[in-house]
Structure 1
């Protein structure tokens, strides 16, 4: 039941962005990021056989996306998945963007994941996770590597 509720919340909240968002994100990605976790030869988190990248990321962020009742303190949850090349389906970057936050200092929060699919285990793995914020004060369009005050 809990998994069904998670998928229902995720399905209701996910917005698909077009290529314009991907280009805007790529230019913002050139700036410094806060690395939550990074693996070199190790994996930060693995999914289960049959899970899509979005499901693996949702499981990883579940306590940051909603509370134990499935409630959240943001207006919009946007998830964007992109492959580096049209035919490279085993490597993706995935962004989770929370906007319309109830926080009076943070307007938007973003998590950026680098993931790959392994042929030997047949699961998606998270290789790195980065976190950035857009603050309500100052340059509200710029992403920052430091939490807003």
Structure 2
């Protein structure tokens, strides 16, 4: 291959990589933050469980679909309404927020829970009088395996 042709090929490859990076084609789409906002008029405080270590299994029954979630490790907080927090999920790439009524609060009715991933709202729900739990579950699934030796 002539030096001119090799330089042309190298230039085309460099431009292609530069354009792909500029268009976001080779950037990492994995999430880095999860945000939870709790607001409403139903209660002055609620109980919040947040976790990145949990199991989630989709269940289908005669009455519809549900998501069965088991928290392996998490933090349980009693928070005043309104509440807002952002969590780092770059490493676990998953997030769970469960909102319950406290022992002093008998209902979640009127409490709104919003969940966002990297600023993109993925979940919003206002509790009704029959809701004892409002949960936001996010699990990122990549087509490529992690590069840290985990399978």
TM over 0.5: no
Q: TM-score, normalised by structure 1?
A: 0.26
Q: Which has the higher helix share?
A: 1
Q: TM-score, normalised by structure 2?
A: 0.26
